[in-house]
Chains A and B, each alone.
Chain A
């Protein structure tokens, strides 16, 4: 479990608003510290945003098609894409009307988060960083998001879930739990560690 807001995630994605003073970031034995964000994305790293941006005039479908093409560098096969999209949308309980709406414009908090998970599923990264995807969601929405994460998870990818609370971990089986305080990992454990924190809080690590 990570505390330290979104700094880590943003540093990995090389958000120009964050300045890295030292250290390197390696991904699959490659130094990505100073790569541009779009290159990092094409290397297979995805981040879901706490507050996804709104893009008026660009429909969700067109955006996903365009992004998939950019990430994979290959033309998108329309039929396959549509099938995939329909499947994920029904799993995530996304209304098909939303697909023709402008990306994130007028979406509720829950719809935006589900849309981030949909993007993750479509772009199929090697590493997905989910930055407080569960914050502000009700129990049902957390369940839906968890279902999306479960669907995504396989032998060949990794997921880094950033959260302050342990609720989402009740419905997900995770391999490791890390506690990050003031920029340092102070404790690493397994799912049990999440339960401990739920009972005792973070105070003991501070």
Chain B
């Protein structure tokens, strides 16, 4: 019987490499001098410069994680942590330099902005090159800007929240982020304002042997709501690139935030990202996450439910091909009565790819009447691929409802035969099964992202029979 080889994800669009041109690229490595130089280049206020240097000290003291994927190939002496593109921050695409604009055009960002977004931010290497938001939101007091502008123009808001949700002592890569962070987005939604159309920030890393360390800080005030979308990608190089972003989300009482991510880093990327949300009374944070790229990913968004009745939902999918080790998951801490969490995680692995679902559900003693339900499902497309589930639960009260369900599956020959008897080729059949498996996640994404995700899952016909 002939076996079918399913090709890698078609990455043509993502692999557009522009020339490594920049206005300034910091020399490789991490020293106090390098940090001071970055700070100078960025015109930091003094408090931020001090903060960076302190974070570097913490970074040097902390050890690499002793669990999860092997990170020994990461050598910070080989990474430039700051690459300033040849562009200032613009609020019109016409002013963005041609090759950078072309890249975002091909990624469909300006088009999506016209049709389905209320605001867009676009970062190229270490700096944001484009930011814009609809007029009516500005009038309602919504702030959506790059992080640097926020540090300058809203210092009180930034000081109160910046790296308070994710403190620099959390782990080594958070400390690194604190030292070299650059770019990212700042969003402030005032009390009772509903942003009905999503805002989107797109992060593109073009420069080889470099890192991207964008910082996203979102504050949704009481009774307000927002849908924020984050997209990221990079072309493939032979040497390691590093992404250690940080996302801090404050969802105040009765507020709602939906945070969607489509991550499609290239296969030389180490994606060591940290995301955390703090929820007030009856607030809700929903995460939707698609993780396709990167060589190694360690990504565990976390919801801290501090207010009574707070809720969180996590819906995520990982897709690992040859050479990829995606160690993803979700963490939730129930810190107040009647809080609830729902997790629906899926993974697909093929060609020897490895997907791990690693999670934590912590329900503290005071969180009486809380509910948590976790479901994870993995699909392996061949015998070489690996799927693992490592759930941890720490439940300190009896008055809870908790359930965990895990399923691991393969595509059966019977199912393929059934679909082939309806005219589908073997590749079409597998692609349909995989798309169907991913559907509960893709239906949660904005339509253009659902389409993009289906394209990513598109299993190619070429090079089939072996």
Interface residues of A (CB under 8 A from B): 13, 15-17, 36-38, 40-42, 46-47, 49, 52-53, 55-58, 63, 66-67, 70-71, 102, 119, 123
A86 to B425, CA, bound (A): 27
Residue of A36, A57, A123 near B420 (CB, 8 A) is A36
0/1 interface trace, chain B 414-429, chain A, CB 8 Å (1 if under)? 1101111111111010
* A41 cross-chain contacts in B, Cβ below 8 A: 420-423
Chain A nearest CB from B442 CB (Å) reads 9
The answer to whether residues A16 and B1 also contact, given A57-B436, A58-B432, A58-B439 and a CB cut-off of 8 A, is yes
Q: Contact check: which of A17, A102, A119 meets B436 at CB < 8 Å?
A: A102
CB under 8 Å from chain A, chain B span 245-296: none
- Residues on B with beta carbons closer than 8 Å to the beta carbon of A36: 420, 425-426
Find chain A residues with CB under 8 A from B436 CB.
55-58, 102
A47 / chain B contacts, CB cutoff of 8 Å: 421
Question: Across the interface, which residues of B come within 8 angstroms of A71, CB to CB?
Answer: 422-423
Could you tell me the dominant secondary structure of chain B's interface residues?
Answer: helix
CB pair B439–A67 under 8 Å, yes or no, is no
Which residues of chain B from 408 to 464 have a CB within 8 Å of any chain A CB? 412-415, 417-426, 428, 432-433, 435-440
Instruction: Enumerate chain B interface residues (CB-CB to A < 8 A).
Output: 1, 412-415, 417-426, 428, 432-433, 435-440
Which residue of B412, B415, B417, B435 is within 8 Å of A57 (Cβ)?
B435
Closest to A105 in B: B436
**Given A55-B433, A58-B432, A102-B436, A17 and B423 contact (CB-CB distance below 8 Å):** no
Contact A38 B423 (CB under 8 A): yes
Shortest Cβ distance from A39 into chain B, in angstroms? 9
14 extra interface residue pairs, beta carbon distance < 8 Å, beyond A52-B418, A53-B412, A119-B422: A16-B417, A17-B413, A17-B414, A38-B420, A41-B421, A42-B423, A46-B421, A53-B414, A53-B415, A53-B418, A55-B419, A55-B433, A67-B422, A67-B423
The residue of chain A having its C-beta at the shortest distance from the C-beta of B420 within the complex is A37
The CA of A57 and the CA of B435, in the complex, are separated in Å by: 7
CB atoms of A57 and B438 under 8 A apart: yes
A70 touches B421 (CB 8 A): no
- Shortest B418–chain A CB gap in Å is 4
A17 contact set on B, CB distance < 8 A: 413-414, 417
